[in-house]
């Protein structure tokens, strides 16, 4: 009988300890769900630039990237000659130069689908490698930049993240309505559970 009472009390006090932390997680989660990170960062106060430049090296050639009204153009620097897109062979070469991976096959990605492992600018080269972790390297079509490196480990993480934030389609929207509703219900559950702890029978 004493053992049963001890276990019951242990469970009761352990539950209140865990419930308080769950309450803190829920409150912080509600804040995240109802506030867009772009607004928190103050992005709404930035004025758009009329024109931007970036100079970088692409396989031994200096390239200048010009961004004007959201449109990107590329020329050799300082000559100003038109730069052609990378070939598949060059994408493979860049992957070998900029990573420790061994490139195998390459394909051009021109459209995205919801939940795709690559979510950046298009078009982009997808370079597969000979790793056990199923690693794909995404190489910029014009720039040669390594945009993303995706592996089976990342795909598992991305799937679990979608479950965590309840965005099962895009997998990166922490402000979706389902998460907002469930976070409020979780708050009610946490508060009511903690309240019951202090209610005398």
Ranges of each domain in the chain: 2-35+175-198, 45-84, 85-174
Q: Which two tokens stand for residue 32?
A: 């995240």
Q: What is the pLDDT along the chain (201 residues), one digit of tens a residue?
A: 677 777 777 777 888 888 888 888 889 988 988 998 888 889 889 888 889 999 999 999 999 999 998 899 999 999 999 999 999 999 999 999 999 999 999 999 999 888 899 999 999 999 999 998 999 999 999 999 999 999 999 999 999 999 988 898 888 888 889 888 888 888 888 888 778 777 765
- Residue 200 exposed, middle or buried by CB count within 10 Å (0-12, 13-18, 19+): exposed
3-state helix, strand, coil in the chain (%, to 5): 45, 25, 35
Does the predicted TM-score (pTM) go above 0.75?
yes
What does CATH list as the number for 85-174? 3.10.450.40
CA–CA gap between residue 57 and residue 13 (Å, rounded) = 62
Tokens 């309505």 appear where? 177
pLDDT tens by residue, 154-173: 999 999 999 988 898 888 88
Distance from chain centroid for Cα 47: 25
Cβ-proximal residues to 104 (8 Å cutoff; 6+ apart), any chain: 127, 128, 129, 130
Q: Which two tokens stand for residue 117?
A: 């492992």
Residue ranges of alpha helices (H) inside 35-123 are: 37-40, 88-98
């Amino acid at each position: 009988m004493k053992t049963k009472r001890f276990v019951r009390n242990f469970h009761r006090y352990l539950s209140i300890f865990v419930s308080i932390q769950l309450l803190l997680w829920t409150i912080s989660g509600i804040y995240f769900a109802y506030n867009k990170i772009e607004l928190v960062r103050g992005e709404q106060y930035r004025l758009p630039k009329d024109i931007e430049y970036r100079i970088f090296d692409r396989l031994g050639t200096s390239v200048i990237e010009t961004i004007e009204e959201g449109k990107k153009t590329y020329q050799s620097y300082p000559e100003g000659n038109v730069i052609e897109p990378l070939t598949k062979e060059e994408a493979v070469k860049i992957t070998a130069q900029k990573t420790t991976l061994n490139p195998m096959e390459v394909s051009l990605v021109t459209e995205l689908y919801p939940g795709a492992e690559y979510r950046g600018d298009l078009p982009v080269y997808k370079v597969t490698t000979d790793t056990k972790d199923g690693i794909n390297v995404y190489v910029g079509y014009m720039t040669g930049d390594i945009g993303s490196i995706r592996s089976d480990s990342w795909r598992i993480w991305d799937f679990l993240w979608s479950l965590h934030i309840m965005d099962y389609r895009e997998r990166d929207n922490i402000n979706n309505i389902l998460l907002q509703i469930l976070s409020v219900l979780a708050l009610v559950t946490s508060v009511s559970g903690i309240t019951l702890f202090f209610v005398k029978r």
